[in-house]
Amino acid sequence: MPRPGRTDGRALGSLLAGIFGLLLAFLGLPGLVLGPIAYFLGKSSARRITESRGELGGRSTAVAGWVMGVVATAIGAVVSLVWLTIILVAVFGPPPP
């Protein structure tokens, strides 16, 4: 069984962006920025690793970053909508009955 080569740098970048995206997703916009970055880095890294035929490793790292990017984006979107609603109600008041 051949040993995989070095870990793809995009996989590590995806994982880090996913972790920070999850940590900051409860603030709203940071999750919406870092989540898609983690997703796209993870997807491209997984594709590069598959196409390298064993020369690159780190597929599980890339997939973990990819999944965390999706979760961070979803949480960031929900939190951003909640913040927007709170701000609009604070500025314009509650909707008329």
In a domain, 2, yes or no: no
List the domain range (segments joined by +) for residue 62: 9-92
How many structural domains is the chain composed of? 1
Q: Is the pLDDT assigned to residue 2 strictly greater than 80?
A: no
In a domain, 1, yes or no: no
> If 0-12 CB within 10 Å is exposed, 13-18 middle and 19+ buried, where does residue 11 land?
buried
In a domain, 21, yes or no: yes
What pLDDT sits at residue 27? 85
pLDDT in tens, 5-62: 788 889 999 999 999 999 998 888 888 999 999 999 999 999 999 898 888 888 999 9
In a domain, 97, yes or no: no
What pLDDT sits at residue 3? 61
In a domain, 72, yes or no: yes
